[in-house]
Structure 1
Amino acid sequence: MKKKYLPSALIMYLNYFIHGVGCSVLGQALIKDALAASWQVEAMAITAISAALGLGRLIALPFAGPLSDKLGRRISTAIGSASYAIYLIGLAFAFNAGPNGGYQIAYICAIVGGIANSFLDTGIYPAVTEIFYSAPGVATMGIKFFIAISQMLLPFFLGVTVSTTAAGLTSYNRLFWICGIAYLILFVLVMIFPLPDADQKAEGKKEGLVESLKHTHFSLESIAMILIGFTCTGTFQLWLNCAQNFAVENVGWANPSIMQTYYSAGTILALIVTALLTRKIKDVRFILVYPAICLITMIVVLIGKTQSLMILGSFVIGWAGAGGLLQIATSVCNMLFPKIKGTVTALVMIASSLCNYTILTAASKMAPSQVMVMNIVITGIGVLLGLYVNLRYTKMVDSVEQG
């Protein structure tokens, strides 16, 4: 690593620090209530805006990666930063529009935010591994760390940016504007500071996803791994976006925003502890054990319905659900399917984005208690899939080693 790239790495990580706000802000009960009051809709209807982030990812995923390889990490990251600014500043304009199209404006902006997410992923993930080439695992873990720190601080950010409009509505537009402007500043910095050029352009013509699918035979195990990408995303996304509403309506907790801090604390600790545990325990074990822990936790929360259980549940889901489980599932795919790892990994991420869109869209039309039940069902399916993959693990490893 060359020291001249250190400022560039910080710029990359700061993109994800603000992303931590952008990807979770719509899941906060206070934000939902404020936006719902302005747009004159039910609070749970805001979950559909969160779902639009997944739709944007689905739109961008097929071409964001190839564009990053062809034009370079700088262009991909810059597109992501600029698009995220549109999303966040657009939320402020949508709030001001009120019932006169505000909801529709926010939905479109959220799609742009999802597109931004894809371009940030395809630009920054390879960029930081190119900068810290001797420790690529640590480099990508740093991305998750910056997201988790931002999410932990989110309740504080909400507290210092809240205001009241002339019409008496609670507004968090200051937060949207600050984050949007910060992304515009990062856009400029990305275009100025140096980035390594080692992997910016593809060497020769690579087979695209559609072409690869035509020549790929999918086993039951590979299908199970792809479906795990769907179920494990459902576990933490439904909790992140709907658990606070469950706390308000079913526990009687007026301001449950502190749940976000415990959720993020669990994620941060999981990143450290799980990284140490994977040295002693096979990665594939986590795709069974962690979903099982999440399943038990949500059943206890649904039955118990207390503030203490909501806090404990947030910490546990942050740890076992959001603390790298999707990344572990992806790494298991790479190891078990080396001949089609690019294809399977892409499909796992597409399944993740598809879950984000479909499940959150469904949740927006449901009561919080019904969403909790749906999450339990989805996580339970994930446990069964993880059990199947673990039972087949030895045979799959033998098949890989033979060839």
Structure 2
Amino acid sequence: MKNKYVPTSISLYMNYLVVGMAILILPQNMDTLAKQWNTSIAGVSVVISAVGIGRLIVMLVSGVLSDKLGRKPFAVVGGATYILFFLGILISHSLIVAIIFGVLAGIANSFLDAGTYPALMEMYPTHKGAANVVIKAFVSGGQFILPLFISMIVANKLWYGWSFLLCAAILILNVVFLLTLSKFPAASQGSSKKEETAAPVKPQKSKGNVWIDGTLFTIFSFVAQGIFLLFSTWITKYGEAIVKMGDVSSRALVSYYSIGSITCVLLTIYLSHRGVQDIHFLFVYMMMSFASLLLMYLIPVAWVCSILSFVVGFSAAGGVMQIGLTMMATFFPNGKGTVTGVSQTSASIAGFVVPLFGGALSGNIANVLLFDVVLALIGFVVAGAIMYRYRKLFGRHKKAPKAQLEVASQNTN
């Protein structure tokens, strides 16, 4: 049956194409921005960490309000706020002003997450995990496109700001569409007549323990965000300084990483439709992340790093965080906006803390990658604990409760 929300969901996904570009746009322009702001590379890392501060400030509140006010306002305001970030960075000529716009980017990201993740779970109730993982495909698409675009700018000696203007232009068109033509589920815009007369569905009882499972998922969100953020920020510098790769080759590592991420999304969607459960993806992908990062640290050779960049992208950036969020919603099925808020607040803390550690360790880029290895090890251990809890609560062979019931309970709240 044709889903009437397809155009809106495509628009929501397009926002995350730009989010993927936003993740890399500061690291990929580090040297130029450091000169513009009269600071060092470590100073640019502070601006990157400011994005995490912005996410932290509003993420939990925006998630809760998304359950009360609807999804559309947060998707629209998130896109508009990101436009201010891209344009603001271009006019920033001091580190302080740049930090302010970095915080604004984090706020924009929080608004988008609060509106988008719950909305997609409501638009595609029978494939909510796959719907959220597709977000990562678009993020990875942006991360693949941007280094190529910047390489073209550098090769042709063009103004660096064209990459920022490209992102702003895409978002302007997208915000206009969301304001004028988009359709969101009843939870976002009020129930239709048919939905108002439907028999209410009793909300599901949460099986998860707030202290045990809530803590595990909170740690997992922190680590998952930290792994891919640290890698995407510093892998180009690692290729240059440690592996002794050229400028184009070191930038290509990010592209390999993005291709791996997109490949993982497609494979995850295929396997999920073949009956593989999200919990298995969670555990296997974290194991692969740890192994590939460890090998990259131990064997800093160009061809090895090129292959392993693909593997890291596949395992750490191919939707594992989105799968974790979906799993958390399975443990705590009522209030997807709130669950999103908790998960992304933890990720926001990582977005602030991890870049600061990365900047502090940047005197020796190899230590930055070693820090990423440690994060991946923690993530692997936590994923194992989550798998154990899942089997204990839901049974080894049982599937989690049907997504349709979860969504129905939301639409009747």
Q: TM-score, normalised by structure 2?
A: 0.81
On the 8 A contact 1:4/1:194 being kept in 2, the answer is: no
Structure 2 residue corresponding to 1:176, chosen from 143, 149, 164: 164
**Residue matched to 2:41:** 43
The structure with higher relative contact order (CA 8 Å, sep 6+) is 2
- 2:122 matched to 1:124? no
Q: Distance in 2 between matches of 1:283 and 1:353?
A: 23
**Residue matched to 1:271:** 265
On the 8 A contact 2:114/2:337 being kept in 1, the answer is: no
Q: Distance in 2 between matches of 1:351 and 1:71?
A: 23
On the 8 A contact 2:66/2:115 being kept in 1, the answer is: yes
Structure 2 residue corresponding to 1:381, chosen from 378, 381, 385: 378
- 2:275 matched to 1:287? no
SS at match of 2:246: coil
Tell me how far 1:306 sits from its aligned partner.
1.6
**Residue matched to 1:208:** none
Distance 1:234-1:197 versus aligned 2 partners, 3 A rule:
closer
Structure 1 residue corresponding to 2:226, chosen from 234, 238, 253: 234
On the 8 A contact 1:163/1:171 being kept in 2, the answer is: no
Tell me how far 1:391 sits from its aligned partner.
3.9
- 2:89 matched to 1:91? yes
On the 8 A contact 1:288/1:386 being kept in 2, the answer is: yes
Structure 2 residue corresponding to 1:34, chosen from 28, 32, 35: 32
Structure 2 residue corresponding to 1:115, chosen from 59, 82, 107: 107
- 2:175 matched to 1:187? yes
SS at match of 1:300: helix
Instruction: Describe the superposition over 1:187-229 as per-residue Cα deviations: whole angstroms up to 9, x where unpaired.
Output: 23322214235112689xxxxxxxxxxxx96443442232111
SS at match of 1:305: coil
On the 8 A contact 1:333/1:341 being kept in 2, the answer is: no
- Identify which range, 1-10 or 170-179, moves more after superposition: 1-10
Tell me how far 1:272 sits from its aligned partner.
1.5
Tell me how far 1:343 sits from its aligned partner.
5.8
- Identify which range, 270-279 or 51-60, moves more after superposition: 270-279
SS at match of 1:257: helix
**Residue matched to 2:19:** 19
- 2:237 matched to 1:245? yes
Q: Distance in 1 between matches of 2:21 and 2:244?
A: 26
Distance 1:75-1:240 versus aligned 2 partners, 3 A rule:
same
- Identify which range, 354-363 or 61-70, moves more after superposition: 61-70
Distance 1:125-1:230 versus aligned 2 partners, 3 A rule:
closer
Tell me how far 1:184 sits from its aligned partner.
2.6
Supply the AA of the counterpart residue of 1:246.
Y
Supply the AA of the counterpart residue of 2:348.
S
Q: Distance in 2 between matches of 1:353 and 1:294?
A: 21
Q: Distance in 2 between matches of 1:338 and 1:46?
A: 39
Distance 1:289-1:189 versus aligned 2 partners, 3 A rule:
closer
- Identify which range, 75-84 or 279-288, moves more after superposition: 279-288
Q: Distance in 2 between matches of 1:290 and 1:46?
A: 30
Tell me how far 1:294 sits from its aligned partner.
1.5
Instruction: Describe the superposition over 1:31-52 as per-residue Cα deviations: whole angstroms up to 9, x where unpaired.
Output: 1122123334332432222221
- 2:144 matched to 1:152? yes
Segments ≥4 residues shifted beyond 6 Å: 1-4, 339-342
Q: Distance in 1 between matches of 2:279 and 2:3?
A: 36
Q: Distance in 1 between matches of 2:298 and 2:324?
A: 30
Q: Distance in 2 between matches of 1:2 and 1:273?
A: 23
- Identify which range, 137-146 or 241-250, moves more after superposition: 137-146
Structure 2 residue corresponding to 1:312, chosen from 307, 315, 326: 307
Distance 1:180-1:119 versus aligned 2 partners, 3 A rule:
same
Supply the AA of the counterpart residue of 1:333.
M
SS at match of 2:183: coil
Q: Distance in 2 between matches of 1:337 and 1:130?
A: 16
On the 8 A contact 2:80/2:171 being kept in 1, the answer is: yes
Where structure 2 has 5 or more consecutive residues not aligned to the other structure, the ranges are 192-207, 402-413
**Residue matched to 1:206:** none
Tell me how far 1:319 sits from its aligned partner.
0.5
Where structure 1 has 5 or more consecutive residues not aligned to the other structure, the ranges are 204-215
Q: How many matched pairs?
A: 379
On the 8 A contact 1:154/1:260 being kept in 2, the answer is: no
Q: Distance in 1 between matches of 2:293 and 2:184?
A: 44
Q: Distance in 2 between matches of 1:340 and 1:393?
A: 20
**Residue matched to 2:391:** 394
On the 8 A contact 2:286/2:380 being kept in 1, the answer is: yes
Q: Distance in 2 between matches of 1:373 and 1:26?
A: 22
**Cα RMSD, aligned residues only:** 3.1
**Residue matched to 2:368:** 371
